[in-house]
Structure 1
């Protein structure tokens, strides 16, 4: 069984709880969990913002005027950042982290058994209750164990 969850949404604890109760009820099923990667370019944008955040913080702390390299006059907000380094770096760090978190937050909790999707929080909008999940697993296992009575039937 594979469970893909949104790490930034705090679903790791939910995964651990569900993995434990599934292992208790179905010891023959191994539960594997992994982070659900965000869709599209969100991960790349998040990484670029993180990289840019670190460069800007290093420029602020070192007092580098990046606008001199671009042959542009230094704006007032950059002068403020250089004068208030600690506050500017903290603000840059927390603002960039908030944007990065929004980009990578998928809200996913996807459950599949033998590559058969059992539950999708992205589609239903909620995480299944344990009895509900047990019912779905039982039905899937029962269906997969059924033998076709006459495979030569046309």
Structure 2
């Protein structure tokens, strides 16, 4: 096998194993905070200064005790929209807890997305060594489509890789942007086929918070 063949085979294989490594590798951990060394006299002065944060103030706010969960499709590039909504809710409802999470696709699509790299590797392997593979599978001669792919090996391998990546991205996407307030669904992109507006989402969360307070007040009055 000459250098050109090694290059044509090695590049798709390198990209394949890179995708596999990124698929199964855990997300990077958050960098640890850097502590700068300060002179000995400075910590003593800082310890003597009274703290400006009061626990009573931190535990109050219109949104305190309420949780909003935004489950979005991370492979659809929805993270920017989710972060924007998170910042808006935290500004409008001080003290609220906003949690961002990935909304995975259904299980069949996830299983099929794991098979795509296997098919990619198999097709590239057939293009490279089909003359040795087909006889071992019981074929007297490779089929005609093999010779067509073999005639343009680089184009066939590149097309296989690009098409497989596109299919895998489609199978890993859920298209979801689901917003829950205190465990109750207040907006669903899967149902509405659109994103919520900032004012719309603020009103939906405000109504849910007010409803939770009314329910808690009724329960408190019943047991008092």
Distance 1:54 1:31, change over 3 A: farther
Alignment of 1:58-97 (within 5 A): 58-60=125-127, 62-65=128-131, 66-72=133-139, 73-97=141-165
CA distance, structure 2, for counterparts of residue 4 and residue 47 of structure 1: 22
Task: Quote the offset at 1:107 in angstroms.
Answer: 1.4
Contact 1:63 1:82 in 2 (8 A): no
Structure with the bigger percentage of helix: 2
Residue in 2 that maps onto 1:115? 183
CA distance, structure 2, for counterparts of residue 5 and residue 14 of structure 1: 9
CA distance, structure 1, for counterparts of residue 171 and residue 129 of structure 2: 30
Q: Which of 99, 106, 111 matches 1:39? A: 106
TM-score, structure 1 normalization: 0.85
Deviations 1:79-102 (A, max 9, x none): 233342221111001111222222
The CA RMSD measured in Å over matched residues stands at: 2.0
Of stretches 11-20 and 73-82 in structure 1, the one that deviates more from structure 2 is 73-82
Residue in 2 that maps onto 1:139? 207
Q: How many residues align?
A: 151
> Which residues of structure 2 form unaligned runs of 5+?
1-67
Distance 1:84 1:133, change over 3 A: same
Contact 2:73 2:175 in 1 (8 A): yes
Q: Which has the higher contact order (CA 8 A, sep 6+)?
A: 1
CA distance, structure 1, for counterparts of residue 152 and residue 188 of structure 2: 47
Residue in 2 that maps onto 1:26? 93
